[in-house]
Structure 1
Amino acid sequence: MSATHPWTPVLPALGVRGLLRRLSSSRAHASAVAVTPLTDRRTTSDIDDLYHHRRLELVRLAVLLVDDIPTAEDVVQDAFAALYRRHGARLTGLDDPEAYVRRSVVNAARSVLRRRRTMRAHVPPRPRPAPPPEEHVLLKEEHEEVLGALRRLTTRQREVLVLRYWSNLSEAQIAETLQLSRGTVKSTASRALAALARRLENPA
């Protein structure tokens, strides 16, 4: 498998300013945002190709779910390692390897958040270490505003919005990834957009 890419390009490509404009707009406008079907993208059948073409995108997805880059890197690396152990280098038996590894990343991110909640319930909070200089530069004020608002949503709400607006998945694809009904995805997105808009307007 290819070597790990540098993490410094992760956050600039998030386009958080654009995400802010989309997520804080009206629900009617949000529902009209064009979505690029996954079937229009390049599909890969080999794990090296999948890693090369989709790893960075998956790390960006994981960053929005777990809030920090090193953990996001670990989540994606573990997802690919598990994929290799189960299906081999040729991804035998998988019709859609990209959807499979994306679902693994989401599930691993959930596990990370559960472990964090458990640790925080038993261990007094400690000051977070200062971020590397590169991260300080990349996390502009508008990035922090949106990421902070996303953190205050429920896990399901955050997952639905990130998959919808960052990964450009359709309602059907989100439903498959999160093992939910399409109706639940639609109602969750609506409530999450409303909650996010309120928090962006009134951050206190």
Structure 2
Amino acid sequence: MAQLYHAHRMRLVRLATLLVDDQETAEDVVQEAFTAAFRRYGARLGELDDPPAYLRRCVVNGARSVLRRRRTARAWIPPVPPPVASPEDDALRAERDRRLRHALGRLTRRQREVLVLRYWENLSETEIAGTLGIPSGTVKSTASRGLTTLHRLLMEDDT
């Protein structure tokens, strides 16, 4: 094993360096190849038909593993924590929500139902029509009038 190591180590390190593009990692790959070969065959390594070819294959496989791990590590994007709202943002959001609920409360019952089903429940016009028992055309016109009225009410609150 020692003779095999001294005779082929540098050539295997050059091979691994060309594959992984990093001298330190290449040396680790070659060391792992010799260690794995020794664990598997021990003193019988010399009995293989072509020990240098076996080690070369171990180095190539080790380099592939390194490159696979690198690719996986580079592809991983750490999760970005959601931004933490400041107390001012929370207060503004609460005020906006209060104003919206107040304006919704001033719409007609049908306008409020259509807009809530459409924009909060994300239902289609057909689904809304089925839920409320009205024609689809009525859903469209009610939504249009309701949005116009809601916009006007919110603008009035601004002034």
Structure index of larger Rg? 2
Normalising by the residue count of structure 2, what TM-score does the alignment of the two structures yield?
0.47
If asked which structure has higher relative contact order (CA below 8 Å, sep 6+), I would say 1
